């Protein structure tokens, strides 16, 4: 029996929209697998290779870039981060759905390589709410908060590149909607060419 | 406050796939409205104008055809049947979803007028199962059964015109999938242009 291939779900949206919380909840409630990123930054205490990240040397990472081994990658503050293609493809081929939590810039890059993935934009309920969430983290100074809010405004414009938009007013509702989206996508004619009786 | 327009859900598939049962269950479990057909056939005992059908005279029906008042219509055994456009549009404008249960020929006609509706193809789990279902109704003779099976084979080919295909193995599962499809469709970016914060 052939296994029906899993679906790649790309969860994105501006910082502060609540992607991370939603993602954790989805992993708890379903058997969706999490796409583990690769990075060249050093592991922090308690982090394990192949769990939080795949920890690579700069040389290993650059070699993988050249071998087209990433769905997307970026260099942030002198450290590389990327999404290993082989990991995602292995998960999907086993019939599991795979969730990729990523910022809108990364999501756009992934879309070029995986146009048939499902792109979900997580949206804060209002701009004021987003401002509150970013402020309440208490970790950033005023300048940093202003920068992030203006960045979020920019990112909101990218919603047109997505299939679905889910407003994260209540996490439970957002998770319910994403589960419905995944179930619906499994019923798409385009994903079921061989299902119908001949 | 403006109401978000409802979604038109076109439920189709070969005769014997179980559209009717699924439709009844959906109407019971949700607040989706049923698209009531118009017909020129005489009301049977217990049938009420505006509940089972809109009962029209041949002249009234033909006038409505000329006024482009039907999403689709057909003439069967000297009686006209059709889907009144105004009824569906009123339901949708009030924010209710509307379900239209129809054969594949009719669904194709509706698609030309309502390309943004959601087209769901209900599929029997297997061809043998379909044969059993048609036979077990016990109302048709062998020739009629053969004709309907061959017709069903033809109809299966039209699945490509649909957005979703739902295999009706267990009614409960099929209904769950359709409810997920409707919830997912409400999250489509194309249906939420004004949702995101500016």
Topology of domain B1-32+96-198, per CATH?
A: Rossmann fold (3.40.50)
Considering only CA atoms, give the Rg of chain A.
18
Terminal CA-to-CA distance of chain A, rounded, Å?
18
Instruction: Indicate yes or no: CB of B156 within 8 angstroms of CB of A195.
Output: no
Selecting from A162, A177, A187 the residue whose C-beta is nearest the C-beta of B166 gives: A187
ipTM, interface predicted TM-score of the complex: 0.88
Closest of B100, B63, B61, B64 to residue B78, by C-alpha: B61
Chain B residue with the nearest C-alpha to that of A173: B183
How far is residue A53's CA from residue A169's CA, in Å, rounded to a whole number?
Answer: 30
Residue A188 DSSP one-character state: B
pLDDT tens-digit readout, B64-106 = 999 999 999 999 889 999 999 999 999 999 999 999 999 999 9
Q: Taking a C-beta distance cutoff of 8 angstroms, is the pair B100, B91 a contact?
A: no
Delimit the domains of chain B by residue range: 1-32+96-198, 36-95
Chain B nearest CA to A85, separation (Å): 27
What the block records as the tokens of A189 is: 């004619």
**Bridge partners, residue A38, by sequence:** A54, A82
Instruction: Identify the residue among A22, A111, A149, A197 best suited for mutation to test binding to B, counting B beta carbons within 10 A and taking the highest.
Output: A197
pLDDT tens-digit readout, A144-188 = 788 888 888 888 888 999 999 999 999 999 999 999 999 999 999
How far is residue B56's CA from residue B40's CA, in Å, rounded to a whole number?
Answer: 5
Domain B36-95 superfamily per CATH: Guanylate Kinase phosphate binding domain (3.30.63.10)
pLDDT at A139: 63
Q: Taking a C-beta distance cutoff of 8 angstroms, is the pair A11, A101 a contact?
A: yes
Instruction: Indicate yes or no: CB of B189 within 8 angstroms of CB of A159.
Output: yes
B21 half-sphere exposure, CB direction, 13 A CA radius: 15
Closest of B122, B96, B12, B167 to residue A4, by C-alpha: B167
Written out in words, the top-level CATH class of the domain with range A8-191 is: alpha beta
How far is residue A17's CA from residue A129's CA, in Å, rounded to a whole number?
Answer: 9
How far is residue B159's CA from residue B60's CA, in Å, rounded to a whole number?
Answer: 34
**Confidence check: pLDDT of A1 > 70:** no
Instruction: Indicate yes or no: CB of A184 within 8 angstroms of CB of B188.
Output: no
pLDDT tens-digit readout, B117-175 = 999 999 988 777 777 777 777 666 788 788 888 888 888 888 999 999 999 999 999 99
Q: 0.95 cut: is pTM over it?
A: no
Chain A nearest CA to B35, separation (Å): 23
B159: which chain A residues are within 8 Å (Cβ-Cβ)? Answer: 189, 196
């Amino acid at each position: 029996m052939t296994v029906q291939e899993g679906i790649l779900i790309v969860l994105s949206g501006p910082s502060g929209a609540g992607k991370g919380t939603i993602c954790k909840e989805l992993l708890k409630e379903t058997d969706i697998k999490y796409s583990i990123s690769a990075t060249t930054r050093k592991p922090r205490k308690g982090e394990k290779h192949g769990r939080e990240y795949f920890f690579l040397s700069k040389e290993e990472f650059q070699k993988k870039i050249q071998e087209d081994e990433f769905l997307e990658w970026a260099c942030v503050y002198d450290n590389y981060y990327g999404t290993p293609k082989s990991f995602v493809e292995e998960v999907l081929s086993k019939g599991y759905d795979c969730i990729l939590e990523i910022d809108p810039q990364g999501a756009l890059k992934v879309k070029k390589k995986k146009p048939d993935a499902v792109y979900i934009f997580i949206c804060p309920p209002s701009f004021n709410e987003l401002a509150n969430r970013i402020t309440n983290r208490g970790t950033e100074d005023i300048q940093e908060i202003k920068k992030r809010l203006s960045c979020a405004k920019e990112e909101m414009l990218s919603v047109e590149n997505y299939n679905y938009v889910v407003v994260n007013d209540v996490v439970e509702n957002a998770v319910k909607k994403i589960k419905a989206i995944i179930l619906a996508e499994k019923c798409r004619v385009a994903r079921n060419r061989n299902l119908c009786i001949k």
